[in-house]
């Protein structure tokens, strides 16, 4: 089976690959099939596209597992999204895909196939073996199948590569109209994987394909594709194509993103000098404004201290008021100085926000009990808004610390910031990039905080 794609290259599936079992010599099997009678053989510059299933079988990546879910758990490092029993996860290879790539198809009942432990190393072994056996310099791509966000259907993509330029970086060039190319990096290895899948198919028993006519994508030389980790797309294999960490703008599904943002919300006390994006803070305020509140009110205001002069004016006034209170409490000057130093977290942040409670729309009651309860409802609503604010900052990868000190000198804060009399400062939030990764939070047993009736 073969297909001609345009006039530039040819793709065909290699027939005659038998059922592969653990310990089989995959190089010998592929070489025999590719050079059998009636086959075009292999030539320098060809790209061999190999389904990961046979690589996994040859490497013994077969697991007896009646419970496929347990196997998925073992291969998962991060849950990206879940809908019913379907899980999209990041697996040990950094690949984001359904079920961590654990496959119960094309394997005996009661077993599952795991992906190769190191697909780039697997591709290198095949490439080196074919060079030794057939004296040909080919590229090798190991493929698997996955869906894609926002697109129906599945396609093959490269999970391992050797001797192949996995990407064509066009940045710095120009298009046909002379416009500069600033973001175009073509995933060549994935395109080759998909081309191979057109002739291999999913159920035809044809796990190997050959692409001929694209020698330009094959890297020559004994050391090409050695996976030395130097950040070069030719040398690092298909791992180079994995986008992870801060570069991944679509890291999580909606509900998982909310949970991760909540878990990321930590009190940060040391910040970098990096400036804070005012737009990110405004987005966090917009999220805060969705909090529930009594009587259809909006009992919160957020004062954004974006200038250094406003922050200094507020913090100096608060420090003077605090020192005066501590002296009135009879503390020594040494103890006062230590207290003030410990409270300097707000000074270390490049951005401050003062959330305020407003009682507009509150009801008046003749007795103190109901009046106190009315205020408590508004305070709780303000707290919900601040929590929304802090969680959204965390989702923007901004650290924060909600410090209560403004509540002890509200008149001072109102005067320093020229706020209306009815605005009650409910602490201050320090905002910035965390200077270091937060320590792991000690696990908490949710049942310890529940009472069921």
Closest Cα partner for 394 from 299, 292, 298, 252?
Answer: 252
Helices (H), 35-105: 52-58, 68-75
pLDDT at 341: 80
Residue 187: band (very low, low, confident or very high) from pLDDT cuts 50, 70, 90: very high
Query: What is the distance between the alpha carbons of residues 229 and 232, in angstroms, rounded to a whole number?
Result: 7
Query: Is the pLDDT assigned to residue 308 strictly greater than 90?
Result: yes
Closest Cα partner for 427 from 346, 307, 372?
Answer: 346
Query: What is the distance between the alpha carbons of residues 74 and 453, in angstroms, rounded to a whole number?
Result: 37
Taking a C-beta distance cutoff of 8 angstroms, is the pair 288, 391 a contact? no
Instruction: State the residue for tokens 């994987």.
Output: 193
Query: What is the distance between the alpha carbons of residues 102 and 114, in angstroms, rounded to a whole number?
Result: 5
The token duo for 142 is 């190991």
Lowest pLDDT segment from 132-141, 145-154, 434-443: 434-443
Closest Cα partner for 31 from 141, 138, 156?
Answer: 138
Residue extents of the structural domains in the chain: 2-61+115-247, 254-449
Query: What is the distance between the alpha carbons of residues 238 and 160, in angstroms, rounded to a whole number?
Result: 5
The token duo for 252 is 């999580």
131 three-class SS: helix
Please state at what angle helix 368-395 crosses helix 278-288, rounded to 10 degrees. Answer: 140
Q: DSSP letters of 268-331?
A: ---B-SPPP-HHHHHHHHHHHTTS--GGG---EEEEEE-SHHHHHHHHHHHHHHHHHHHHHTT-
Sign of torsion over alpha carbons 264, 265, 267, 269: positive
Residue 287: partners with Cβ closer than 8 Å, 6 or more residues away: 388, 389, 391, 392
Q: Which residues pair with 63 in a beta bridge?
A: 112
Lowest pLDDT segment from 26-30, 97-101, 105-109: 105-109
Taking a C-beta distance cutoff of 8 angstroms, is the pair 371, 359 a contact? no
* Predicted confidence (pLDDT) per residue in 150-185, tens digit: 899 999 999 999 999 999 888 888 888 888 887 788
Closest Cα partner for 425 from 396, 453, 445, 405?
Answer: 405
Query: Is the pLDDT assigned to residue 225 strictly greater than 50?
Result: no
The CATH H-level (homologous superfamily) assignment of domain 2-61+115-247 is: CofE-like (3.30.1330.100)
Residue 231: band (very low, low, confident or very high) from pLDDT cuts 50, 70, 90: very low
In this prediction, what percent of the chain has a pLDDT beyond 90? 67
Query: What is the distance between the alpha carbons of residues 80 and 255, in angstroms, rounded to a whole number?
Result: 9
* Predicted confidence (pLDDT) per residue in 379-402, tens digit: 999 999 999 999 999 888 899 999
Query: Is the pLDDT assigned to residue 1 strictly greater than 70?
Result: no
Taking a C-beta distance cutoff of 8 angstroms, is the pair 211, 161 a contact? no
* Predicted confidence (pLDDT) per residue in 418-440, tens digit: 999 999 999 999 999 999 887 88
Query: Is the pLDDT assigned to residue 247 strictly greater than 80?
Result: no
Q: Contacts by 403-408 with C-beta closer than 8 Å and gap 24+? A: 403/343, 403/345, 403/346, 403/427, 403/428, 403/429, 403/430, 405/318, 405/322, 405/343, 405/346, 406/318, 406/354, 408/321, 408/322, 408/325
409 three-class SS: coil
Which residue would you say has higher pLDDT here, 268 or 227?
268
Average pLDDT over residues 344-362: 93
Query: What is the distance between the alpha carbons of residues 397 and 248, in angstroms, rounded to a whole number?
Result: 12
Closest Cα partner for 137 from 119, 156, 162, 114?
Answer: 162
Sign of torsion over alpha carbons 307, 313, 316, 318: negative
Residue 28: partners with Cβ closer than 8 Å, 6 or more residues away: 129, 133
Average pLDDT over residues 298-311: 96
Query: Is the pLDDT assigned to residue 415 strictly greater than 90?
Result: yes
Can you give the pTM of this predicted structure? Answer: 0.66
Level-2 CATH architecture, domain 254-449: 3-Layer(aba) Sandwich (3.40)
Q: How many CA atoms lie within 13 A of 166 on its CB side?
A: 28
* Predicted confidence (pLDDT) per residue in 315-351, tens digit: 999 999 999 989 999 989 999 888 888 767 899 999 9
216 three-class SS: helix
pLDDT at 283: 94
Q: How many CA atoms lie within 13 A of 231 on its CB side?
A: 0
Residue 203: band (very low, low, confident or very high) from pLDDT cuts 50, 70, 90: low
Domains 2-61+115-247 and 254-449 share a fold: no
Strand stretches in 314-383, DSSP E: 351-357
37, 45, 141, 304, 439 from 134: Cα distances, Å: 15, 13, 18, 69, 54
Average pLDDT over residues 398-422: 93
Residue 235: band (very low, low, confident or very high) from pLDDT cuts 50, 70, 90: low
35, 47, 103, 351 from 208: Cα distances, Å: 13, 10, 18, 57
Which residue would you say has higher pLDDT here, 109 or 55?
55
pLDDT at 229: 35
């Amino acid at each position: 089976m073969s297909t001609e794609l345009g006039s530039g290259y040819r793709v065909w599936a290699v027939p005659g690959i038998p059922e592969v079992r653990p310990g089989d010599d995959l190089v010998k099997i592929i070489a025999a099939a590719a050079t059998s009678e009636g086959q075009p053989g292999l030539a320098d510059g060809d790209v061999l596209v190999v389904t990961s299933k046979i690589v996994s079988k040859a490497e013994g990546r077969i697991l007896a597992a009646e419970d496929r879910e347990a196997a998925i758990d073992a291969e998962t490092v991060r849950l990206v999204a879940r809908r019913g029993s379907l899980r999209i996860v990041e697996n040990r290879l950094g690949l984001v895909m359904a079920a961590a790539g654990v496959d119960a198809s094309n394997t005996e009942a009661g077993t599952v196939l795991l992906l190769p432990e190191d697909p780039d190393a697997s591709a290198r072994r095949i490439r080196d073996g074919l060079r030794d056996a057939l004296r040909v310099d080919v590229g090798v791509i190991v493929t698997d199948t996955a869906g894609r966000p926002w697109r129906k259907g599945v396609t093959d993509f490269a999970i391992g590569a050797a001797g192949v330029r996995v990407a064509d970086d066009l940045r710095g060039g120009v298009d046909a109209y002379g416009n500069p190319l600033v973001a175009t990096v073509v995933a060549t290895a994935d395109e080759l994987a998909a081309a191979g899948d057109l002739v291999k198919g999913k159920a035809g028993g044809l796990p190997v394909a050959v692409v001929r006519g694209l020698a330009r994508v094959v890297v020559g030389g004994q050391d090409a594709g050695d996976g030395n980790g130097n950040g070069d797309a030719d040398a690092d294999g298909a791992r180079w194509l994995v986008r992870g960490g801060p570069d991944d703008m679509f890291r999580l599904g909606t509900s998982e993103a909310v949970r991760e943002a909540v878990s990321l919300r930590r009190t940060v006390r040391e910040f970098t000098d990096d400036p804070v994006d005012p737009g990110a803070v405004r987005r966090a305020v917009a999220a805060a404004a969705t909090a529930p509140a009594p009587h259809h009110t909006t009992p919160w205001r957020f004062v954004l201290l974006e200038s250094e002069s406003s922050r200094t004016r507020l913090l100096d006034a608060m420090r003077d008021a605090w020192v005066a209170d501590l002296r009135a409490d009879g503390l020594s000057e040494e103890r006062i100085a230590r207290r003030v130093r410990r409270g300097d977290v707000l000074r270390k942040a490049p951005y401050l926000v003062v959330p305020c409670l407003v009682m507009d729309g509150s009801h008046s009651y003749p007795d103190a009990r109901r009046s106190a309860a009315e205020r408590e409802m508004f305070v709780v609503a303000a707290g919900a808004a601040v929590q929304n604010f802090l969680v959204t900052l965390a989702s923007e990868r901004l650290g924060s610390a909600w410090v209560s000190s403004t509540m002890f000198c509200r008149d001072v804060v109102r005067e320093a910031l020229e706020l209306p009399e009815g605005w009650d400062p409910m602490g201050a939030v320090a905002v910035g990039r965390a200077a270091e990764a937060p320590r792991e939070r000690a696990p908490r047993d949710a049942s310890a905080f529940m009472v069921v009736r």
